């Protein structure tokens, strides 16, 4: 890809996404699931750019949303209501109300109290709320503790016994209709066994519920399929689907999943330019124009992202790649072997399509960056860079 050309045309820092890569990832997943009815609900939080959502919608994806804002994004690009799931550990009344009025596929509940709120609001609206319950199967996903969600130490979902009690209550309610079951044990998972174990625990509950005449139609295994950032061995998708399917024998359910990173992570790169190099005798620093506010994964999780310096491969030595933000955690790499760089050299930070732009901020009154999509060899701006006026707009009104 002509990164230099794109950097010149759109400026840096810049996110660039390869939409053909997204298509391939989506098709691979659908292929792995083809033995069953399946619904792929893309986890919007990974990359919520409207053009990304529209592209995935055109491929047939639904959306997994964690705020009413994300639900509205999905609706805005025309994702079918019956393909939208609203999850999240703390939904506000107004969010629940809109989700019910919009008649989306289901609201995924994460506590008993939340179920009571949903029931109450559905009653006020004279509706019956389609729900699923997020089960916390108490399984170690063997991933970074900050992105692990399936243990009882984590705030997510409810334990099996509470879930069962909730399903029975929901079944007996005039305003709740239990149609789904959900679990999501964590993110960036590269081992099969945690997925298999979670599917076993959850499918046991589905069978148990069936014997109580509670008919679950959507079996949602969440997201979490890992990608290669460095040299991780990733899952074979066929093995992944089989690990789930082997637990579903005899159950007439639509396999639902919520991949985020798998679909978009390796479709994206972050382009940033070298401003300066400096060496204090002990350490070499490459100072670039991007920063932790643009791509926060290295500073938040110590995440590894490959870095390529376009057009240079000589005078290699270890360096920290750092941004201009006034924090010591503002780095993209530490002690990385990289060539000597010059002002205006371009760095490509790989695997930046997921949880990159969506977690960016205006910290230090830095403009959130522009985003570009490449599809069939054509580049297209899909988000303009913030300008100063955008950043102060809401405050300027109140001064």
Of the pair 182, 273, the CB lying nearest ligand LLP is at 182
The residues with which 132 forms a beta bridge, in sequence order, are 108, 180
Q: How many CB atoms lie within 10 A of CB 246?
A: 12
Of the pair 216, 319, the CB lying nearest ligand LLP is at 216
Q: How far is the CB of 225 from ligand LLP (least distance, A)?
A: 6
Nearest to 130 by CA among 43, 215, 71: 215
Q: Where are the alpha helices (DSSP H) in the chain?
A: 3-10, 19-32, 50-59, 68-76, 93-102, 112-125, 160-171, 193-210, 237-245, 261-264, 297-301, 388-396
Q: How far is the CB of 258 from ligand LLP (least distance, A)?
A: 4
387 counts as catalytic? no
Choosing from 132, 136, 173, 187, the residue that interacts with ligand LLP (CB under 6 A) is 187
Number of residues that bind ligand LLP (CB under 6 A): 21
Q: Phi first, then psi: what are they for 374, rounded to 5°?
A: -115, 125
Q: Where are the beta strands (DSSP E) in 262-369?
A: 268-279, 284-288, 307-309, 317-322, 331-338, 346-349
Contact range with ligand LLP by CB under 6 A, out of 221-229, 241-249, 267-275, 375-383: 221-229
Nearest to 111 by CA among 166, 66, 63, 150: 166
Contact range with ligand LLP by CB under 6 A, out of 5-13, 124-132, 254-262, 372-380: 254-262
Contact flag: residue 110 with ligand LLP (CB under 6 A):
no
Contact flag: residue 43 with ligand LLP (CB under 6 A):
yes
Annotated catalytic residue, options 257, 326, 387, 398: 326
Contact flag: residue 240 with ligand LLP (CB under 6 A):
no
Binding to ligand LLP in span 60-79, by CB under 6 A? 64
Can you tell me the distance from the alpha carbon of 321 to that of 347, in angstroms, rounded to the nearest whole number?
10
Q: What phi-psi label fits residue 126: left (phi over 0), alpha (psi between -120 and 50 degrees) or beta?
A: left
Choosing from 119, 258, 294, 345, the residue that interacts with ligand LLP (CB under 6 A) is 258
Structure tokens given for 335? 């002690």
Of the pair 146, 276, the CB lying nearest ligand LLP is at 146
Contact flag: residue 222 with ligand LLP (CB under 6 A):
yes
Choosing from 77, 147, 287, 310, the residue that interacts with ligand LLP (CB under 6 A) is 147
Contact range with ligand LLP by CB under 6 A, out of 218-226, 285-293, 361-369, 382-390: 218-226
Contact flag: residue 259 with ligand LLP (CB under 6 A):
yes
Choosing from 184, 273, 366, 368, the residue that interacts with ligand LLP (CB under 6 A) is 184
Give, in order, the Cα–Cα distances in Å from 128 to each of 85, 97, 108, 218: 16, 12, 14, 17
- Could you tell me if 14 and 367 are in contact, meaning their C-beta atoms sit under 8 angstroms apart? no
Contact flag: residue 86 with ligand LLP (CB under 6 A):
no
Q: How far is the CB of 266 from ligand LLP (least distance, A)?
A: 12
Residue 314: DSSP 8-state: -
Binding to ligand LLP in span 281-300, by CB under 6 A? 297
Please report which helix (H) or strand (E) contains residue 176, including its range: strand 176-182
Residues that bind ligand LLP (CB under 6 A): 43, 46, 64, 87, 147, 184, 187-188, 222-225, 258-262, 297, 301, 354-355
Give catalytic residues, as residue numbers. 326
């Amino acid at each position: 890809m002509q990164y230099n050309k794109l950097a010149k045309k759109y400026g840096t820092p810049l996110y660039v996404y390869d939409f053909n890569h997204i298509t391939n990832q989506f098709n691979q997943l659908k292929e792995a699931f083809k033995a069953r009815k399946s619904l792929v609900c893309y986890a919007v939080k990974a990359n919520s750019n409207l053009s990304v959502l529209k592209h995935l919608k055109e491929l047939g994806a639904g959306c997994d949303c964690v705020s009413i804002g994300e639900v509205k994004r999905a609706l805005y690009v025309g994702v079918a209501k019956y393909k939208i799931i609203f999850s999240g550990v703390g939904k506000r009344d107004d969010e629940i109300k809109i989700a019910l009025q919009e008649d989306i596929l289901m609201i995924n509940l994460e506590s008993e109290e939340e179920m009571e709120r949903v029931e109450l609001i559905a009653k006020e609206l004279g509706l019956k709320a389609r729900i699923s319950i997020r089960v916390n199967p108490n399984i170690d996903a063997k991933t970074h503790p900050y992105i692990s969600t399936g243990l009882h130490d984590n705030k997510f979902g409810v334990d099996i016994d509470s879930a069962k009690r909730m399903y029975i209550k929901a079944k007996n309610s005039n305003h709740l209709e239990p149609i789904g079951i959900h679990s999501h044990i964590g993110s960036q998972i590269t081992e099969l066994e945690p997925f298999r174990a979670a599917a076993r625990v959850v499918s046991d509950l589905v069978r148990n519920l069936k014997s109580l005449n509670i008919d679950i139609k959507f079996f949602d295994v969440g997201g979490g399929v890992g990608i290669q950032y460095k040299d991780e061995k990733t899952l074979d998708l066929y093995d992944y689907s089989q690990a789930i399917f082997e637990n579903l024998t005899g159950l007439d359910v639509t396999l639902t999943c919520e991949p985020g990173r798998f679909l978009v992570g390796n479709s994206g790169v972050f382009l940033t330019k070298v401003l300066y190099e400096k060496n204090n005798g002990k350490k070499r620093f490459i100072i670039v124009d991007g920063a932790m506010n643009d791509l926060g994964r290295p500073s938040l999780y110590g995440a590894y992202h490959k870095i390529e310096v376009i057009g240079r491969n000589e005078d290699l030595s270890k360096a920290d790649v750092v941004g201009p933000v006034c924090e010591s955690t503002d780095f993209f790499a530490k002690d990385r072997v990289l060539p000597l760089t010059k002002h205006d050299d371009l760095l490509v930070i790989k695997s930046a399509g997921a949880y990159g732009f969506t977690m960016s901020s205006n910290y230090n009154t830095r403009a959130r960056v522009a985003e570009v999509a490449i599809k069939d060899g054509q580049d297209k701006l899909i988000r303009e860079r913030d300008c100063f006026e955008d950043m102060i707009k809401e405050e300027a009104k109140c001064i």
